[in-house]
Amino acid sequence: MTAPVIEMQGITKTFPGVRALSEVSFDVRPGEVQALVGENGAGKSTLIKILSGVYHADAGEVRMGGEPVHFAHPVESLRAGIAVIYQEFSLLPERSVAQNLFLGREPRGRFGLIDERRMHDETRKVLDLFATGGRIDPGRAVGTLDVATQQMVEIAKAVSHDARVIVMDEPTAALNDAECEELFTTVDRLRERGVAIIYITHRMREIARLADRVTVLKDGEVAARFDAVPEPGEIVHAMVGRDIADFYAPPATEAEIGDPVLTVTGGGNAHLHGIDMSVRAGEIVGLAGIQGAGRVALAMALFGQEPFETGEVTLAGERVSFRTPREAIEAGIGLLPGDRKSEGLVLMQSVRDNGMLTPRAFAPLWSSHKRTAQADLARIDELLDRMEIRAASYDQDIRALSGGNQQKAIVARWLSMRPKLLIFIEPTRGIDVNAKAGIYHLMRDLARGGAGILMISSDLPEVIGAADRILVMQEGRIAAEFPHGPTERDIMHAATGETEVAA
């Protein structure tokens, strides 16, 4: 057995109010894929940030090739051969692929000028290592490439730095199935070249496909270590500390579904055409479709952010038309945005302030911030408790919380408003398995309480598992409708328009 290239021993790290890691040991060998799994907030990112020199461990040791190392800055770890590929890429969109690869270490030619040709050729050589790298033009601006290709450039950059260890943080989060396959091939090639890969993921399928060994973190400690990939159930069990028997809540029965909460007839604007749809009380409607099919545009039209210009909308039987989100909220609609950080949270404010945001927005400006018509502080605390939010204190800034906990705080905000229709956009993006199950059951509880739920998701198994009825959008129209339980194939056909040809 080869010696580990990286060994981390007894790593402990504490942040104000939170012990992020305690006595974590972890190693990775050349030519293997070590999967690092755990819920959000389990400490994966912190561990990686310690490895790459972003944070410094309070206790413990990092060894590289047997020698203790101390990285004061990510640049030092990169020089030592550790490259981290985060979900947000570190590429300059206006620069070419080659310029990005050689940023800060451009090959020099005569008179100290940059040797464009050599840079181009070297880039070509690196890209050729990848299955589909040959398609990428080294001279093209990175910003014009799609996400999957940008990711490949990011990996190529790591390779060109002669990285011996490459860390990939949920690399498939933004990729479709075909792109995932390409990525897996790339990972296989890197493994053959003897690169050690630390692969962070939630997805069991990827672990089964790629991993040689698996380390599971839970609450800042190593919950389990597997020298071979076990059954998914075992990993999930180690991650959440219990079995997940009922991941999705059972679908609504006929009796639970009531009258339409929302109807749209002939709704249209710049992005949407001829939208006819309804959501009934007690029902979860899933909205599927590919990127840009108009799902988010539909949500924003219903919510008054980018209103319909034609057509009719009724809410609880009354004709409505909203020009702002505020009007929509007042009438009884709630919306959980798809991008928590940029659209959902006020990050510098406390967990409690984030929960109280909407109730306060509808209270008189000069009245006490402790009590509003919809909720007082005790009520918000109760809702936050019910969401099982993991925070040192509800007075803590929300930015320190994990994605799942942040999402729950936004849910608590809407619960206090008792909306008639609640729109969830990508409700479980970037949150862990346990919290996902929590969100599904919560949606079901809200539906049972008489609300209509519209769920937009790019995660097909989620749409199929959680929704009572599924609408599939394509190019700004609703292309198909399925009752509970279609296959992924059915939906993909409808989303890409192939059924129309077949029919």
Partner 1 sequence: MTDQSAAPDRKRRRLPQINPVWVLLAVLIAGIVYMNPGFAEPTGYMNFLKRAAPLAILAAGQVYVITSGGFDLSVGSLITLVVVGASMLTNNDPSATYWVIPLMLAMGLGVGAVNGAIVCFLRVPSLIATLGTMITLNGLAFLWSGGAPRGYLPDTFRFFGRELIRDVPLVRFIPVSVIVLIVVVGLFAWLMHRTNLGRMVHAIGDNPVAARLAGVPVNRVRISAFMLSGLSGAIAGILLGGFAGVSTDVGAGYELEAITAAVLGGAQLLGGRGSVPAALGGALALTAIFTLLNFLGLPQPVRQVVQGLILIAAVALAMHRRKRTGT
**Contact residues: partner 1, CB under 8 A:** 15-18, 303, 305, 324-326, 329-330, 335, 337, 342-349, 353, 356-358, 360-369, 372, 385, 388-393, 395-396, 399-400, 413
**Structure-token pair, residue 152:** 């490949």
The distance of closest approach from Cβ of residue 427 to partner 1 in the complex, given in angstroms and rounded to an integer, is: 15
The distance of closest approach from Cβ of residue 44 to partner 1 in the complex, given in angstroms and rounded to an integer, is: 17
The distance of closest approach from Cβ of residue 499 to partner 1 in the complex, given in angstroms and rounded to an integer, is: 34
Report the C-alpha gap between 426 and 314 in whole angstroms. Answer: 24
Nearest C-alpha neighbor of 85 from the set 4, 207, 175: 175
Q: Which is nearer to partner 1, 350 or 499 (CB)?
A: 350
Report the C-alpha gap between 266 and 205 in whole angstroms. Answer: 41
**Residue pair 189/157 in contact by the 8 Å Cβ criterion:** no
**Residue pair 189/158 in contact by the 8 Å Cβ criterion:** no
Report the C-alpha gap between 237 and 217 in whole angstroms. Answer: 12
Nearest C-alpha neighbor of 302 from the set 342, 344, 281, 271: 271
* N-term to C-term CA, the chain: 57
Report the C-alpha gap between 361 and 369 in whole angstroms. Answer: 10
DSSP 186-248: HHHHHHHTT-EEEEE-S-HHHHHHH-SEEEEEETTEEEEEESS---HHHHHHHHHSS--S-SS
CA–CA distances in Å: residue 457 to residues 431, 445, 461, 466 = 13, 19, 10, 10
Amino acid at 455: M
Q: Which is nearer to partner 1, 146 or 388 (CB)?
A: 388
What does residue 266 show for φ and ψ, rounded to 5 degrees?
Answer: 60, 30
The distance of closest approach from Cβ of residue 367 to partner 1 in the complex, given in angstroms and rounded to an integer, is: 6
The distance of closest approach from Cβ of residue 409 to partner 1 in the complex, given in angstroms and rounded to an integer, is: 12
**Residue pair 457/288 in contact by the 8 Å Cβ criterion:** yes
DSSP 167-181: EEESTTTT--HHHHH
The distance of closest approach from Cβ of residue 46 to partner 1 in the complex, given in angstroms and rounded to an integer, is: 11
The distance of closest approach from Cβ of residue 52 to partner 1 in the complex, given in angstroms and rounded to an integer, is: 16
Q: Which is nearer to partner 1, 132 or 396 (CB)?
A: 396
Q: Give the containing element (helix H, strand E) for 37.
A: strand 33-38
Q: Which is nearer to partner 1, 18 or 320 (CB)?
A: 18
Q: Which is nearer to partner 1, 57 or 391 (CB)?
A: 391
Q: Which is nearer to partner 1, 15 or 185 (CB)?
A: 15
Q: Which is nearer to partner 1, 367 or 487 (CB)?
A: 367
Q: Which is nearer to partner 1, 116 or 397 (CB)?
A: 397
Q: Which is nearer to partner 1, 5 or 302 (CB)?
A: 302
Report the C-alpha gap between 260 and 282 in whole angstroms. Answer: 9
The distance of closest approach from Cβ of residue 17 to partner 1 in the complex, given in angstroms and rounded to an integer, is: 5
